[in-house]
Amino acid sequence: MPHTKSARKSLRKSAKQRTRNRSVKKAVKLQIRAVLQAARDANDAAAADKLREEFRKAAKKLDKAAARRVIHPNLAARKKSQLARLLNVRTAQSSRA
C-alpha cells in the first residue's frame, strides 16, 4: 500500500484509468469482431452495406483509442489496414455474385 498522500492519489488515478482503458480496448475488440462477422455474412449487396458500416464504426473506435493513447497508433493503423483489405475483398466478391 502507498504511504504518502500523493502515492495514494496516484493509485486511485491509475485504477480509474485502467478501468477506462480496459473498457475502450474491449469496445474496440468487440467492434472488430462485428466487422469480421459481417465479412463472413457478406454475400449480397445489403450485407456488403452492413460490412461497410461496421468497418466505419471500427475505424472510428480505433482512431479514438489511438488518439487517447489507449492503444499504439501503429496498432490502430495496422488493424484499419487489415480490415480495409478484408472489406475490399468481400465487397468485390459480393458485387460479382
Instruction: Note the helical H segments in 2-72.
Output: 5-41, 45-67
pTM: 0.87
**Mind listing the pLDDT tens digit for each residue in 78-95?**
999 999 999 999 888 766
- Alpha-carbon distance of 21 to 25, in angstroms, equals 6
Tally the domains of the chain: 1
- Alpha-carbon distance of 69 to 55, in angstroms, equals 21
**HSE value, Cβ hemisphere, 13 Å, CA-based, for 64:** 12
- Alpha-carbon distance of 33 to 55, in angstroms, equals 10
CATH code of the domain containing 32: 1.20.58.110
Q: Considering only CA atoms, which of 5, 29, 24, 28 is closest in space to residue 13?
A: 5
**Mind listing the pLDDT tens digit for each residue in 58-76?**
999 999 999 999 999 999 9
Residue numbers of the domain that contains 22: 5-96
Q: Above 70 in pLDDT, residue 96?
A: no
